[in-house]
Amino acid sequence: MVYKAMLFRQTDLPMEERIQDLISRMTLEEKVSQLIYDSAAVPRLGIEEYNWWNECLHGVGRAGVATVFPQAIGMAASFNPELLGEVAEVIATEARAKHHEAARHGDRGIYKGLTFWTPNVNIFRDPRWGRGQETYGEDPYLTAQLGVAFVKGLQGDHPKYMKAAACAKHYAVHSGPESLRHSFDARCSQKDLYETYLPAFRALVKEANVESVMGAYNRTNGEPCCASPTLLQKILREDWGFEGHVVSDCGAILDIHAHHKVTNTPEESAALAVENGCDLNCGRVYPALVEAVKQGLISEEKIDLSLARLLRTKFKLGMFDPEEEVPFAQIPFEVVAAPEHRSLSREMARQSMVLLKNENNVLPLNKDLKTVAVIGPNAQAQNVLLGNYFGTSTKLVTALDGIRNKLEPECRVLYAEGCDILTTEVGFWGNSPKEGFAEALAVAERSDAVIMCMGISPDLEGEEGAAANSDGGGDKISLELPGMQNELIKEIAALGKPVVLVVFSGSPMALTTVQEHVPAIIQAWYPGEEGGNALADIIFGDYNPAGRLPVTFVKSLDQVPEFTDYSMAGRTYRYMEEEPLYPFGYGLSYTSFEYDSLTVPIEVNTGENLEVEVEVENTGSRAGDEVVQLYVKHHSASTATPRFSLQGFKRITLQPGEKQTVTFTLTPRQLAVFDEDGRCLVEPHTLEIFVGGSQPDPRSQALTGQEPLSLTVELVGETIELDR
């Protein structure tokens, strides 16, 4: 065809020349049609329709069969960026195979593209937030490290082509409440903005070269995020040098006039958003740009600028090049849900689970038991494997399935639901909410050990409109185990059998009521398609758990500020003064570790890196992983600082008796403080460096019986202001 001879089709020409050639051939209406998420075909130029909306939070989502990995919050609990990068690489591999096969069959619809609106690097600042499960937790440094690993794994390192395009969302200060997300104004200080809410976005832009950023629904300090000159122009493009494209959250441009009331018409909202750097509209407002140009609200040159950014992404994905020149287009469809990908999902699930309690070493259970009871509403539930934004697994292994796979036929596995996940009232026909208790007690009485699979489900927490039994918006009403679960746990525990409580959730639960009644607790999150097998591996000792909490488990909501308060005061381990139930960074093992020989310099210049060494030894009888954590505490700084902050972590594997020297290199930015104006300052003062298997707070020490090693370092020299 004639269009194949056009300059933008010539793969040997510079990309920018190709982009400008294509733009020059398009009418205003055609240009605008490309700024909508379901961009139209332009047949006269040989351009196919393309839907920009795709999801891959923990596997290719909503597009049929794909490997389902643990939910993001669970993968964060692995504290393993390298493994998360492998997961992202597999996701990209399956994405490429599915995309090209769908296109060959003429399907270019939603969820079939290569532009993925993942990862979610918002800070999980409040345990009620239904979308906290999508994040990597409450800590800016952990979130940044994991987000960078995911983006690099997804986008790949080919010199010419991206494997898939990642997106950092939701920019910025977006963390609930879900019911207010279309209209609220997240007011926060410059200190909190730069110290807590922005660092992960900055890292994904500057370290991982993330291709896209998604603007949030809300306003931040008065400006709609998808039309914010401060966020999109000043910070993102001018300060950080972002060169990719910005996409709106779905419906967010409509919100500018309909809910935020910043503008009056669709034309004004569309013009304001594009003028300030939002290039792609997930929604139906940008068609008004044609009229906006006629009204003089925006120039066609501004539209060309946004279009160029979007076309650049498509060129980098090889969408205008022959398939034979794009290496990722050759990935066979057979890789989708391959056995090795399922194995990786199982490994990630094993690394994600957190052993919260193990009194008298009840765990691991002996596989030689004659009878085991598996009880609870989540024992055979499949939705608790998935969380949200998931694909279709070829086989979901529930907790009950995994335990049966591990033990039968040598051991008999009995099952009772016990209660449903939510009911507390007598039913219409007089059904008691405790009607399953008798069966549960019967199987427990006949068993050598009891595994109770409790918690919540995606029906109780999620995105706006996705969680039916939430506060109406998707956020949790309570942190307590719902329904009759607490009562059932107490009655089963009273039998005196060894009881293992397994909690499925995408967020912190208040386990204060039940933790004293059971000797062992495992936080399983939403663990993916192999979750049941991974859980059984841990319970019966084929895998030594080493997951760590990426978010604080508070005792109750009484310890949490108002949901709509975006100040970090009193929030997360960095600013919370009260004692939590289970601290950030906490998790137990079946073996023990000792730390020795912490080495740091006596002083370091404000412009230099700080080198830290520590020796870690496995002093127990089992091989296992340890998550070595480094925290920094500022003494006598010129501004308020967190209690302490995670600034380094490494997951290592040690055999019994094995020692390993772990090294950390802290950059000046990691030693800096943020003042009330949000300036990033490296100033002369005293630092305290803590290194251990948990954070340096009394609750962690009480739970683990260990105190991190610590030494002080003097920062000397002139105060340096770093780029924010």
Active site (catalytic) residues: 249, 461
374: three-class secondary structure by DSSP: strand
Packing angle, helices 531-539 and 399-407, rounded to 10: 50
Closest CA to 375 of 232, 502, 521, 557: 502
Query: Which helix H or strand E contains 674, and what residues bound it?
Result: strand 673-674
Query: Which among 694, 670, 691 is positioned nearest to 682, based on CA atoms?
Result: 670
Distance (Å, whole) CA 345 – CA 355: 19
| DSSP annotation of 366 | P
Which residue bears the tokens 């080198």?
611
Cα separation, 373 vs 265, in Å, equals 61
Q: Tokens 């062992």: give the residue.
A: 520
The string of DSSP letters for 654-665 reads E-TT-EEEEEEE
Cβ atoms 375, 453 nearer than 8 A: yes
- Residue-wise over 618-640: b if at least 16 C-beta within 10 A, else e? bebeeebbbbbbbbbbbeebeee
Query: Over the Cα atoms of the chain, what is R_g?
Result: 26
- The token pair at 648 is 């380094």
Answer whether 675's CB lies under 8 Å from 637's CB: no
Q: How far apart are CA 51 and CA 54, in angstroms?
A: 8
Closest to 473 measured CA to CA, from 181, 185, 252, 251: 181
Please identify which residue in the block is written with the tokens 């279709």: 392
Are 213 and 246 in contact by the 8 Å Cβ rule? The answer is yes
CB 391 within 8 A of CB 471: no
What one-character DSSP code corresponds to residue 606?
Answer: T
Q: Which two tokens stand for residue 327?
A: 């290496």
Task: Give the Cα separation of 10 and 571 in Å (integer).
Answer: 54
Question: Under 8 Å CB-to-CB from 155, ≥6 apart: which residues?
Answer: 92, 162, 163, 164, 165, 166, 208, 209, 210, 211
> Is the separation of the CB atoms in 267 and 234 below 8 Å?
no
Tokens representing 721 are: 């202001």
Residue 136 contacts residue 146 (beta carbons within 8 Å): yes
What is the token pair recorded at 404?
């049966």
Residues contacting residue 438 through CB under 8 Å, at least 6 positions apart: none
Is the CB of residue 281 less than 8 Å from the CB of residue 35? Answer: yes
